[in-house]
Chains A and B, each alone.
Chain A
């Protein structure tokens, strides 16, 4: 028998006094209506676990801490706590508790017994499922206008990227049905997102005409889904793992870290956080955890694959103080806390200093919302000693190098490994100038990471330094305030499913054209390439069968060259029936990455490449094709919106949801 408030489960109340009816007033001898009041139920609770086997003193003290953090989280409270009262299901519903007193049960030995009583607290019942529907209130600010802050501490207003498309993303809780735009009475179209760690799938609404700021979306939802798919914050209590041989999921499947690892769920700022650790935050799709065991301290991010949490890499942050020539890594944690918590959004704050630079004291903010595939990292570097603002650097390092890696920055250059005689990024920087993102394409990996930014003036750098996030010189993408004077850095990570057809070796799909032949080429990835001598577009050079690309839009790049002498000019045309047609020209005798632009592909469409040269004695040579998923919006109802542009467009809105309810009409 339990009293479950949001995610916190206590034993049944000692007392539960249900108030019924509205107040009535007197005017003389006449009964007249009094102002309506909320139903005020008086409840007394004990910090006791309902399961006797686990009802230890330590567990009771944990409950007290969690209850305190929950009750002192007023912004969360004002949106209504959902209470499941197992003894009396008719009284389950949304409550807003008043203030109360936590009393030592026997007057003296609370700390020894863990027995505390939250006594006669008024719990205002604001709705039940029979009278109300769960709802969310949107907070969607178009950051391109320059009228709303782009950062957590509300310091950065700008119109950077104002010419780009932006999209508000609203994630409704799992199992929501009959979504309604309450303001208009119009049904809303929500797309189910991939299922997450707890088996639940949030639903995304992103139609710009529907998702307006301060709109109310109401929906039906089974009580069992009330607490699923949301954000959870943990204080790890010193249990930082690794747990078993996997990342954090041994045994595989649904593991509750609170019971399996001894992590405590935290529901607000008022919690005695474990020193020298940063609270973990996770939603159903990803988890961000502070990690100090491998190389420099940083934040590892795991993605839920459907069966396991899979480590995708590590974010290491660095102070970038250009004018003073200092660049200390943020390697010394001073303090950390939960700045904000509801089940829709959690924000972690941490203060870091640097062991190599005594001028560094940077604030780091990590935000995770319901439905996000990765966290957002924000860094507020401490000023330089001169008082001028400083910069920051974010290193995202891979746990290991895949067969091929590509760092793609729109409008600039493709940075890739393998096939170029190296196994790791050689390292070069490119300004992120055309669109507000860059992305890694990792051949053979399950997921590709993308990096979305909200400021202009940043660079994307490929690197393979050892000892950053991991001991080895793994490939790394660096998002850098190269000028060192922006005073702020924001990088939002996103992870999209990677399929094999996103990286295709030319020799694997050579057509039967008489002019096309497979050649050995040490400079080509896999040691082979396809040569074509045709001077007019008679036959496709490459011809794939059906690919496993998801329907969507892709940035397509081709690794290509012409042979010596360099008198010729070659062109390539990428096509797939009517869906995908892009063309580019070049005259390079060493392999170059030819950006074919944004192309759309239907599900299972073939990919064909028509390569020609102006001189048949200077044949064109194709090494491989790559497709960076920009938008996963190909087929209505099955979109995942996890492409790089999807992510980048979403960060140009500050999209949040706030809990509320509406009366049934």
Chain B
């Protein structure tokens, strides 16, 4: 520490109450928000805020609470009538000295005779109210987290109550070349065609650009012939995505999914008398799926960007007779960016060093496409990953390089009409001196379609996109520090290819260091500007999330993905006017920064003090060997992955072999399981050190550690690093340790205490 910190801190606390307001200026998830500055007073007899606290955490959501007198505030409102805990609609911004410390959602309020206590969490907690219905995922962990920071927003929702069509939602159209039909609303809407007629209701144009949306509806009754289907879905300016429903026999409806040029096979769905039909049409990025009564009736690749989309229900009859459809409710939801909607998207590079990931090639997964032939709208669709759908199970192996690979020898796949995904990580050392960029390239033949993602693997961000047959080619893409944030390391990579009946080989993956060469993690020297097939030593089969999510809370997806891949993550609060209210949840290699600050015993005003400290050492989960169980069925015949790690040094020094167990059913790859077990054992061979205490922790500018002379504001946020020098409890740090949790307690006059419990935990040694 260069100079003593300030001793007196006269900064006061303030609260801002954020809530929906017709006159507000900020729109979040389609709602307009305004604010009210909550009164605070410095007078001893103040009827305003009494006390509060907030806690921020690394790898977990934060929380907050505040207490007010159960009385009238100084601006004349009763505190007990001021807040609403319902619907995640109301929030508070907590500021110290004008600086934002916490944005918390109001989730509970508890008035009693004396006080009104309001509590809640930060915005990350909202993701506990979002669930993944069914998602076959193969993406970079950062992309999985970004997806899980989105929330579903109902854009059109109507249960057709009463007897009048809601004019704010629907516009009716009837007639045209087919003559008019009728619309009747009676706790449901019935569209009836008598003879050659047409009738439709459509919502206003929806401006969302979300690529995940769903239309779900309940069809209470349906009668029609095959000559004019009823439809439910999205009508857009440039395409229609519809579920077509027609009847050909009693107690059966035929359902087809229509996506512009694509029409799925007609699926007959048996009906039970009096039981409504549940229909679901959903787009999830790349894929479009339709379900009737939970039965998958269509799947295809969504075609392009949709513009001018409207929710439509229609009925059409092109011959004499009568058809009618009654829809009792309909809901159109879009999944909108919520906690990562700014320009900050976190780190694309995977946490770790060169040795973190084993090199040796990419994970290859091969699919038989004889069923879909050369229809690129169907290859690689999620049902192919699920043999229960009747598809041939994919074939997995590690491919050291991608050089016109054929289908694997010994696999049951045909040598043509196949597709494949290769995924894992690629080593890109952008920080190499003299390196101006790294070009990666694919080359392919005329009967192969290809796509390539590096870093960002979400659909739509592919850097090579030749998803059509017809021309052999190669394409270089120069990656640089500018477009991938400049860090050296392993980056997620995904390659897709599809080969038709004329092709037996896949693409070639090429790499070219620009400006300077380097040596990759496997020891291969890549010469400057040399164009070579990307060597196995620059590729790892690990680095992407390969998992099917069903019923997973988005909160858990964020937390578990970050933990599994070593990302650090915390909710950074952002103010209403920031454009990214209520916060940003971005995975990073490192959250916060290391400072020169040393926490010491409070023996003089010259130190950065910590009081009430203790240093707990805990060996209750110590181990000298760890057994790990991965994905698969525990049938004792090798269907489940197993791995064991042993520390002979620890084993010899302990009284006996202290064993531990790692349950890693989410890990489906042997190398990854082994790696997890080894890294877990490295932690558990030593005791857990739990250092807690109450630092004064006043914000100030501090140098980095090691010292660089560059000052940055030390805000005491989760992830920031300090050293601790407490010889009386055997703590004498030579390296920084991160704050994992920090709790601030305050009153209107300022901060009353700060705790870091268990904020400075680490393994001893």
Contact = CB atoms under 8 A, between A and B. Distances in A.
B43 A269 contact: yes
B692 to A, nearest CB: 15
B98 A139 contact: yes
Contacts of A184: 2, 701, 703, 711
Contacts, number: 127
Interface in A78-121: 78-80, 94, 96, 99
A137 B3 contact: no
Interface in B656-702: 699-702
Interface stretch (A23-31, A209-217, A372-380): A209-217
A157 interface: yes
A91 to B, nearest CB: 18
Contacts of B11: 137, 139, 658
Interface stretch (A125-133, A464-472, A540-548, A644-652): A125-133
Interface residues of A, number: 51
A270 B45 CA distance: 10
Contacts of A660: 6-10
Contacts of B749: 74-75, 78
B523 interface: no
B465 interface: no
Given A139-B97, A147-B575, A216 B43 contact: no
Given A75-B12, A665-B4, A146 B577 contact: yes
Contacts of B575: 147
A663 B3 CA distance: 9
Nearest to A157: B577
B723 to A, nearest CB: 18
A148 interface: yes
A155 B701 CA distance: 29
Interface string A651-665: 000100011111111
B170 to A, nearest CB: 32
Nearest to B579: A146
Contacts of A215: 700-701
Contacts of B203: none
Interface string B743-756: 00000011000000
In this complex, the member of B5, B6, B7, B711 whose beta carbon has the largest number of chain A beta carbons within 10 angstroms is B6
A182 interface: yes
A177 interface: no
Interface stretch (B52-60, B141-149, B179-187, B603-611): B603-611
Contacts of A135: 6
A183 B7 contact: no
B37 interface: yes
B471 to A, nearest CB: 49
Contact of A183 (B10, B44, B100, B711): B711
A467 B381 CA distance: 82
Contacts of B702: 183
Interface in A170-218: 180, 182-185, 212-216, 218
A74 B701 contact: no
A659 B7 contact: no
Nearest to A658: B10
Interface string B87-110: 000000000011110000000000
A147 B581 CA distance: 11
A75 B3 contact: no
Interface string A133-149: 00101010100001111
Given A35-B611, A139-B11, A216-B700, A662 B4 contact: yes
Given A131-B605, A665-B3, A73 B42 contact: yes
Given A155-B37, A183-B2, A212-B701, A132 B7 contact: yes
B6 A74 contact: no
B701 A148 contact: no
Interface in B565-624: 575-578, 602-606, 611-612
Contacts of A75: 10, 12, 42, 749-750
A78 B8 contact: yes
Interface in A206-254: 212-216, 218
A78 B99 CA distance: 19
Interface in A39-90: 72-76, 78-80
B451 interface: no
Nearest to B44: A72
A72 B41 CA distance: 11
B14 interface: yes
A139 B6 CA distance: 14
Contacts of A149: 37
A323 B7 CA distance: 53
A214 B97 contact: yes
A59 to B, nearest CB: 25
Interface residues of B, number: 41
Contacts of B16: 154
B602 A36 contact: yes
Nearest to B603: A36
Given A36-B603, A75-B42, A131-B605, A148 B8 contact: no
B764 interface: no
Contacts of B4: 182, 662-665
A599 to B, nearest CB: 37
Contacts of B577: 146-147, 157
A487 to B, nearest CB: 10
Contacts of A183: 2-3, 700-702, 711
A663 B605 contact: yes
Contact of B6 (A35, A154, A216): A216
A218 B606 CA distance: 14
A388 to B, nearest CB: 9
B713 interface: yes
A661 B6 contact: yes
Contact of A182 (B6, B9, B603): B6
A185 B2 CA distance: 6
Contacts of A35: 602, 611-612
A96 B602 contact: no
Contacts of A141: 98
Contacts of B6: 135, 137, 182, 216, 660-662
Nearest to A140: B98
Interface string B343-363: 000000000000000000000
In this complex, the member of A79, A135, A663 whose beta carbon has the largest number of chain B beta carbons within 10 angstroms is A663
A663 B711 contact: no
Contact of A74 (B42, B576, B604): B42
Nearest to B26: A157
B2 A79 contact: no
Contacts of B605: 127, 131-132, 662-663
Contact of B7 (A73, A127, A270): A127
Nearest to A659: B10
A659 B8 contact: yes
Given A36-B603, A139-B11, A184-B2, A153 B43 contact: no
Contact of A147 (B10, B578, B602, B611): B578
A139 B96 CA distance: 11
A131 B4 CA distance: 12
In this complex, the member of B8, B9, B702 whose beta carbon has the largest number of chain A beta carbons within 10 angstroms is B8
Interface in B490-539: none
Contacts of B9: 78, 137, 660
A184 B711 CA distance: 7
Contacts of B602: 35-36
A386 to B, nearest CB: 13
Given A75-B10, A96-B8, A665-B3, 5 more contacts: A36-B611, A78-B10, A132-B7, A662-B7, A662-B605
13 contacts: A73-B42, A75-B10, A78-B10, A132-B7, A135-B6, A147-B575, A147-B578, A184-B701, A214-B99, A214-B700, A658-B10, A663-B606, A665-B4
Q: Nearest 5 CB-CB pairs, A to B?
A: A663-B605, A79-B10, A183-B701, A185-B2, A663-B4
Interface of B: 2-12, 14, 16, 37, 42-44, 97-100, 575-578, 602-606, 611-612, 699-703, 711, 713, 749-750
